[in-house]
Each structure stands twice: as structure tokens, then as C-alpha cells.
A and B are shown apart, each in its own frame.
Chain A
Amino acid sequence: MKALLICEYREKTLLATSYELAAFAEKLGAEVAMILIGDDGALPRIDGKLYLAQAAQYGEYNPELHKRIVLQAVERENPDYLVFAHSSYGWDLAPRVAAALKVGQISEIVGIADGAFEVGICNAKLRRTVSPRGSRAVLTIQVGAFTPAGEATGSPLVEKIDLPETASALQFVGYEQAEKKAVDLTKAEIIVSAGRGVGKKDNVQVIAALAKALGGELGASRPVVDAGWVEHSHQVGTTGQTVSPKLYVACGISGAIQHLAGMKKSDFVVAINKDKDAPIGEVSDVLVVADVLQFVPVLTARLQ
């Protein structure tokens, strides 16, 4: 079977998700072709035919034009699967392609099982396997669910692709950079939170160091904020921010109900606490039974 991978390009850079598409195709055991609206200087290092259209001409974001370009590639390649990343680019473009081809789309795939695709529903509390009714399908894969094995060393075979005309009802005006503001934990992918177990204000830096080493944000439980050890915008909980990061590390947090309510949606929870019976244990995937101040520096050192 053949999979057409729709790579992503933004701010003149090829996005790394393109390699995740390849990893998925490999897992599927599918032959790979690619399509990219980008530029010659930023090609994915993946073996296979690459249909290339110039972003300078068709825009970095113009789903109407991009759809037509993809459809051209579909006509030439006749793939079984069209694979997008489930990203702001992918979930915007994929349904348009699916509608035009009148094929089913399966969104945010996390696994493959016996020819059907696994997706999560209800905040990943349940899983569903879905299969397309026809022989062709549009697929979007969850970012981070399929990780490339190692360094990408392929070289694509480029074939130009163009549209006869570029009229479109949508006009892309430009980008707006993220504003530098106080912490918005709701968008963070990794949060390391400090709780009362850190003991005093001076010790918060131990936790902050771990957050930095993991490339995440510093969070805090309410008593820590109330005590003035950490500023309020870091607070996680019902009276702070409700977060849903991919990784949440709770350091010295017992797991009062108000805090749990604010971080229960995290994908993966690690708790570090002296108390084996702390309520946080009920929502943790891993509970490290240790004194926060002793264990965290050891962990941080390993990350650096």
C-alpha cells in the first residue's frame, strides 16, 4: 500500500512532524510519497517521491490552494492513505481533501491495530478503533505518537507541482509572534510543580531547575503561592490554572482535591513525595517515594 505524506512548512522551515509521518508510514508498512508546499532548501530527508510546490507562490497557509495541490498529487500517485499530522495545519487541511475525494478521515491516530486505527476519545479515557469504509482514507496522526527511529538520512526525489491559477477566497495576512507574558501554563507541554514539600521559598529553585532541564514550565500548588514562594501565575488548581500537559511532575505535592482538579487531565503524571499514601498517588503514573529536596537534584543532574 502507498501512503502520501503531507509535510508541513512554516516560517521558511520544514517542521519536524514531517518525520513523524514517515515513522507512521513505516509502522504501517506502506510505500512512501510526499507532498510539500515549501522550498527547495528545506526538503525532508526521507526516501521517496516528493511533490514540491513553492510556498512563495501558494502561501505557507492557504488551505484552498494546498487542497488543490494535494489533490493533484493524489491523482498522480494514487495513494491508499493520505497522512497528515494532527496539527493546526493538518486538521485544517485534511477534511477538505477528504471531502473532495469523498473518503473517510480518521483523526489523531495513536496506534495501529489489525488494519484499523486506534484513536482516543473523551480525553483519552477510552480508546476506539476505526476503519475506513472504502479502500482509501485520510489519516491524521497525533503529534508525538509515532517517533522516528533515529537520524533522518534519506533523500527525496523532487517533482514539481503547480496549479493553473491561484485565485482563492482565503487570504493569509501574516503571523503574530507569541507575546512575552507571565506564565500561561495552559499551553505548556511539560510542567514541574512545587508543593509544600519543598519546605521554603529558597528551595523552589531546585524545582525550577528541574523544570528548566526538562524544557518545561514551573507550576505550583496553592499553599506555595499563598505563602509567597511562587508568583500566582504559576498556580495549578481550581483557583489557579487548569492544565493538561503531556508531562506533569508534582514535587512535594500531597494532592489536595483542588490541586488534582487542576492537573488531572495531564497525559502522564509523575509524583515525587515522601508519603507513599499521598492522594497524588491516585492520579500518578509513577510515584517516586523520596524527599523532594534530595531526589530532584539527582534527577536534574542526569538531564543536564
Chain B
Amino acid sequence: MDYTREIYWNIGHGVVLPMYLLSFAAMAMLAWGFWKRLPIYRQGKALDRFDRFDERVKRTVAEIFGQVKVARVRGGGLPHSMFFWGFLTLFAGTLLVMIQADFFTPVLRVNLLAGRFYLAFSLVLDLAGLLALVMLAALFSRRFITKPAGLESTDQDYIVHQLLFAILVSGFLIEGARMAASELTQNPGLARFSPVGYLVARLFTSFDPDSIRTTHKVLWWLHFALVLGFFAAIPYCKLRHIVTTTLNAFFAPLEPKGTLATINLEDESVEQFGAATIADLTWKDLFDADACTSCSRCQDRCPAAATDKPLSPMKLIQQIGAVAESAPGASLTEAIGEEAVWACTTCRACQEICPANNEHVNKILELRRNLTLMEGAFPGDEVRSAVSNIEVNANPFGLAFAGRGDWAEGLPVTVMADGAEVDILYFVGCYASFDKRNREIARSFIKICAAAGVRVGILGKEEKCCGEPVRKLGNEYLYQQLAGENIELIEGYGVKRIVTTCPHCFNALGRDYRDLGLDLPVEHYSSYLHRLIETGELQLSAQAEPFHFTYHDSCYIGRYMDIIEEPRAVLARAGGRVREMEQSRYDSFCCSAGGGRILAEEKTGTKISEARVKMALETGSPLIVSNCPFCLTMFEDGIKTGGAEGELSVRDLAEIVAERLA
């Protein structure tokens, strides 16, 4: 017997025209549904996310078909990915049948769906369908029975699940009916290759042939109607993410992570800085709300949300969408809440995990720009003072700028103004320059460089705050002022390479300053030291006893700059035995001080730093190692206030390495 199938068996070829007409109608509804949303997005400003087209296409294909981002979180992710592949395969299979019936057969007179290919086709589709069904059940159970915290479900979710079940089940029933009537006994060799269909067909064996045919026809039209309903419904419910999330993979930014638009302060025509209403956001910002499926992964990882601050990255995306749709003139700060806007630490955990490529962080930063630049608002008086201090003395402590280089007294460091030759400019940063605990980082770094024979120069009292914290609080003006002064100095001294011990200075000088004209290699000391060790310029000698530690990936080093393994390698060379926290690497949990919040007080909820200290304690390590002065400060605080003194201590990577120089 031939391995093939009569397409439109029992349905008749007369169905083709109405089928295409109805399909066309459903697709038209689909298109129209999305078309209606365009004016909403258009309320936002222009933004070019169509450049580097090929790159974008490649990335989209990899992400969507590979389900890379979705599968990253095992719990709901893997079932979804498998459901997706199953459903996609079924869709592709159905399409192939359609093309075969309406193009290959009449026009090319070729039958692909035959022989070995058709056997494979049948098996693959059956298994795909089964996979989809099983995974759908898993997803249903997760959402409605297990009910993970943070995952909100509405009637709509319930209906969509039922719709998908109905499509899959009806599909198998149709197959079973068809096979019962035309394959089971007539072509058992073929029937075996549709195992699920085979089992379903057994249900029909007691039916008489006419009943089977009637049932088959009804089910076929039912299935057809459900599928058309599915397509037509896409724009109107969460299913829209099939289109919008795919598009968002295309629209995702290609710039380095953390890139923030540099405002042109020379442009006198600009009257609005930052975002007060949705008209000040970009179309992509408004589109993000449609790409969001409320999966809650961002909210689950937000350190502010985890400690009872009023911020939820998921709600932020949706509130912006709601405003764009129903109240476009409304104040965004009012809709989202000023405290929520200030609560963000810009740790990027939300954006890093988002499977829909939503961009949470820059929306908050634009809202902050409006608050700061248009209203002169601050999250608290302590921030107002710190900003005033930065304006006067170029550091948030309000200490005399003339003392900025004092930490280096007696150490083998040159101040650039003295004119000597150096190999690197060490951009020290405010904390390492002035704070007693953090000066140890600077001193350790110098000690290490001396051992490696690296000549180090510093700007000393000429160095200004890099401006990153104030930039993240929205003060683009002060940031550009500070950056401009630093860049002029750095270029004036003919610096060839910059190394910094602070991730925030690193991000500022290494990425943000490029927009303002600085174009030099900038390294963070964790990767710099790693390099020196690899080339042998720096020799470490692990002491007799290995030390046990847990490693904290600073947000601005790990997520922002993808520097994950180098610090670990350095610590391993130094004789360290790591016990990783559950939330480590790209899933690291913020220390609370990013986004300019190092200048602010945490007034609501519980302390983020204490939450992280608890995570470190859970590893049983006596030591937590970080490579950021903000993290070091927050953990020293968190250990004291969290009552972990004596159980856990915190040290910087530089301190550890400096103690283990060969």
C-alpha cells in the first residue's frame, strides 16, 4: 500500500474555496487587529531599530526558534519551549499539507507527502502533537494548580488554555477518525507511524463507518473554526506575543548593554528632557507593553520588588502600555509612582531575563531625567546634599577635592600632573579615594601593579567623580559636565590605557564616555589582573591553606559587561575554593547601590544588602568576595545590620590578590 494520504478525504475539494476565503478573513482580522495598535505605538518618538537588518534577522531566528531566552528558566521555560516546538511543527505540517494540496499537486504534479518522507512526516507530527499536549498540560498545571507567586492569571488565560487544548485534542480526534475509517485496517504499515492517531483511532472502532465520517467532518470544521478563531484572536489577547515577542527579538537593541542616549545639551530647541508623558518615550517603549506576557520573571528577580519597595518591573511595562492606550496625556510619574521610579537600582536583572526583550531600565532612567532635569526633584534630602557635594567638590562626601589623591601618599603611584611616564591611568573613583574601607582596594591594586611591574598614574586631586551615579539619577547635565572635565584631563595627559577598580567608573569611562569623545581602552581590574596572570606578568602564590569563599557578581561587571569567569579564575589562582550562591553569574542579586542609589537611603521595606548577605550565609562560606566599592560598602553594612558579624566577612578581589603575590 502507498504511504500517502488523501488530502481533503471526506471533506471534499469543494471546501477549498470557502476555506481560503474564511482563512483570508481570519488573517485580515489578525492584520487589522495589529494595524489598530499602530497609532498607539506611533505616539512615541522615532527610533531606528531596523538598522543592521541581517544581524537582527539572524538573532530573531536564533532566539525565537531556538527558544534560547525562554528555556533559560527551567520551571515554566522548558515546557513552553517544547510546547512551542510542538505547536510550530504541527503548524508547519498543516501548512505543508495545504501547499501540497493546493500547489504541489495541481501545479507541479508532485507528491511530497508520500513514501518514506510521509512516514517520517506522520511520526514527527504525531510526536510533536503529543509533546505539545503534554507540555500544555504541564503549563496549565503550573499556572492554575501550582500557582507560582507573582504569576497573575485572568479569565483570558483560562480561555486561551482551553482553546489550545481544544485545537490539539480536536486535531488528534480528526486524525483518529480518519485513520479509523481509511488507514487502520487498510494500511497498517502506515498507521503505525502515527502512534497517537493509532490509539485515538481505536476509540472509533465501535462506530459505524457513516458515524465516523460524520464525526470526522464535524470535527474538521470545528478544528478549522477553532484555528481561525485562534488566529483572529491573536491581536486581542496574550496570544499576541506570538507576533509581538518575535518582533521584539528583531527590535532588540544592538548597542552595548547599558547604553543610554546622550542628550544633546547644545540643542536649544529641546524643551522637554526625559519622559513626562508617553509622547516622550519611544515607540519601542510603548511596543514593549504588547510584547510582555506577564511571565513575571523580571519581577521575580527585581531586588526592589523582593524587599517590598513599590517597584515592579512587570507592572512598569504594563502601566506604560495602559497609559499609552487609554490616557496618553497622563503623567507617567503619577501612573507609576515616584517612589517606584526612584527605587530601581538599574541592576538589569529584569532586562537580562526577559524573554520578550523588553527594555525596563531605560524607561525608568527617562522618567528620572524628567524628575531631575524638569522638576529638580530628588528621592531624598540626602541625595540633594550628595549631588550638591559633587557639584562643589566632585565627590559625594563633600570632602575637599584637594585631598582626593592623599590615599596614595608614600605609594609607588605617580600623579599625572607631575609628568612621569606611566603604563596605565588608574581611575580611582570617589569611594576608593576617600572612604577608609575602600582605600584598601586602591592600595591593594597599587601593590599588585608594583609586583607586576606596571607603572601606575592617577589624576589625584584633578580627578572628578565619573558622574555615573548622578547620570543614573537622571542628572544628565551634571554628568556631562563631570565627564567633559575628566575627558579633557585624560586626553591632555596622553593616556593610553585606563584601568579602574569600580564597575561604575568602568561602565562610564568604557562605554558612556565614548559618546562624549573618549576613545581609549578601558578595563576593569578583574579582567586586567586576569590578563596579567595569563601572560605571566603577575605571579600569584596560593598560600598553604586554600580559602573558602562565595563570589558576588556585581551587576555592572556581570550582567552589564559579561565579565563572569575572569574574576573566578583569578580567585582560583589565588587558592580560593568557591561555593556559589544560587543567584550567581547572570542571575546575581544586586547589593542595592546601583542606579545612583549609593547616594540614597533605603527607607521602605527590608534591606536589599541584608537579603544578599543572607544568600551568602546560606552557602556556608565565611567570606564573600566582590569587586566593586559599592558592593563592598553595602556588604559591610549588611553584615553588621543583618547580625552576621563573626559569621561572614567581605573582602575585595584586590585585597585577596594583594595578599597572595608571589
Contacts and interface: CB of A to CB of B under 8 A. Distances in A.
Q: Are chains A and B touching directly in their complex (CB below 8 angstroms)?
A: yes
Contacts of A238: 382, 385-386, 396-398
A279 B434 CA distance: 12
A257 B641 contact: no
B618 interface: no
A257 B434 CA distance: 8
Contacts of A223: 637, 640-641
A227 B601 contact: no
B607 interface: yes
B601 A239 contact: yes
A257 B395 CA distance: 12
A240 B601 CA distance: 9
A196 B640 contact: yes
A147 to B, nearest CB: 33
B382 A226 contact: no
A247 interface: no
Contacts, number: 34
A273 to B, nearest CB: 14
A256 B633 CA distance: 10
A285 B436 CA distance: 20
A257 B397 contact: yes
Contacts of B386: 238
B399 interface: yes
Contacts of B434: 257
A196 B645 CA distance: 12
A279 B436 contact: yes
Range, interface on chain B = 10 to 19
A261 interface: yes
B435 interface: yes
A273 B140 CA distance: 62
B650 to A, nearest CB: 15
B398 A261 contact: yes
A280 B388 CA distance: 24
Contact of B397 (A196, A227, A258): A258
Nearest to A278: B436
Contacts of B601: 239
B640 A261 contact: no
A257 B435 contact: yes
A92 B459 CA distance: 47
Contacts of B380: 239
A242 B637 CA distance: 21
Contact of A261 (B397, B637, B641): B397
A164 B600 CA distance: 61
Interface string A245-258: 00000000001111
A59 B197 CA distance: 106
Interface string B600-635: 110000010000000000000000000000000000
A281 to B, nearest CB: 12
Interface string B632-656: 0000010011000000000000000
Given A226-B607, A238-B382, A239-B382, A261 B399 contact: yes
A91 B386 CA distance: 32
Contacts of B437: 256
Nearest to B645: A196
Nearest to A224: B641
A35 to B, nearest CB: 43
A227 B382 contact: no
Interface of B: 380, 382, 385-386, 396-399, 434-437, 600-601, 607, 637, 640-641
Closest 8 pairs between A and B when the two form their complex, measured CB to CB: A239-B382, A239-B601, A257-B435, A226-B641, A279-B436, A227-B641, A261-B397, A223-B640
14 contacts: A223-B637, A223-B641, A226-B607, A226-B641, A238-B386, A238-B396, A239-B380, A256-B435, A256-B436, A257-B399, A257-B434, A258-B397, A261-B398, A261-B399
Given A239-B380, A242-B385, A257-B435, 20 more contacts: A223-B637, A223-B640, A223-B641, A226-B641, A238-B382, A238-B385, A238-B386, A238-B396, A238-B398, A239-B600, A239-B601, A256-B435, A256-B436, A256-B437, A257-B397, A257-B399, A257-B434, A258-B397, A261-B397, A261-B399
